[in-house]
Amino acid sequence: MLALISLLTIIIFSIIVVRIGAVALELTGLSSEVASFQAQSAFSGVGFTTQESEVIVNHPVRRRIIRILILLGSAGITSSIATLVLTFVGQSGRNILIRGIILAFGLFGIFLFARSHYIYNVMKKLITKALVRWTKLRIYDYEQILGLSKGYVISRIKVKKDSWLSDKKLSDLKLEGALILAIYRKVNGEEKYIGVPKADTVIKPGDILICYSRQEVSQALSQRCKGEQGDREHKEGIKEEERLARLRETQGGFD
């Protein structure tokens, strides 16, 4: 029975460790969703995507957090397997059935614990306070700062040959309120990153634009093709942006 209690304790401890790791990653600037996924991936040792892993390993604080999670995850998974074996080895059929039922109820309780939004919010507040107080991590709520819950998005736009954006300078484009934050471009087979592109930067077919705008603007820019139809849609988009700008002025700066 002691082995069974130990197993459930290890599982609860593992969930808490992953939560702490996720909040710690979030404090470095990652979104809540990405931080949770990467913390779980590091702890379990699976699902670590290439692009996101590069963002993390190139950041010294995130790299340290991931290293700790991997170390604790290795110990936790090994301990769980060993304890699970000890729980049932050498037991009679009746004891195995009883322990199986207790384990099932225990895992169900842990599942409810892990899925509870109330417990999650309480744990997150406590972990955040502890990490901010005893570490040098600082949290920035980028979703709130960038207004991502207010109709604005950060999107990736792949520029095709027939795209209305291709072969034009940024200075020649009136992007209907959209900002091009960065450009990913293939140069001699290697991907180059152009941060904060200048006004004379020419957008080329194959470029991937990191765009900050209202959601409908981002969709329009990604789908608009060259030609009279595209130019007409662009003019309509400019008029709509001007209308919204006037509306914001009359409402004190808010949509």
Domain borders along the chain are 2-134, 151-250
- Is pTM beyond 0.75 here? no
Q: pLDDT value at position 112?
A: 83
Detail the DSSP E strand segments found in the chain.
Answer: 152-158, 168-169, 179-187, 190-195, 202-203, 208-214
What digits encode the pLDDT tens for the residues 67-95?
888 888 877 667 777 776 667 677 677 77
Q: Please report, to the nearest 10 degrees, the dihedral formed by the alpha carbons of residues 241, 149, 155, 44 taken in order.
A: 180
DSSP state of 224: -
Q: Which residues of the chain have pLDDT under 50?
A: none
Q: pLDDT value at position 185?
A: 92
Q: Which amino acid is at 107?
A: L
Residue with tokens 């170390």: 71
CA distance 210 to 189: 20
Q: pLDDT value at position 52?
A: 63
What digits encode the pLDDT tens for the residues 53-73?
666 766 777 778 888 888 888
Contact 211, 154 (CB under 8 A): yes
Distances 204 to 167, 199, 244 between C-alpha atoms, Å? 5, 14, 30
Q: pLDDT value at position 138?
A: 58
Q: pLDDT value at position 40?
A: 84
Q: pLDDT value at position 72?
A: 83
Contact 221, 211 (CB under 8 A): yes
Assigned CATH topology for domain 151-250: Alpha-Beta Plaits (3.30.70)
Q: pLDDT value at position 106?
A: 81
Q: What are phi and psi of 196, to 5 degrees?
A: 45, 65
CA distance 66 to 41: 9
Q: What are phi and psi of 46, to 5 degrees?
A: -135, 160
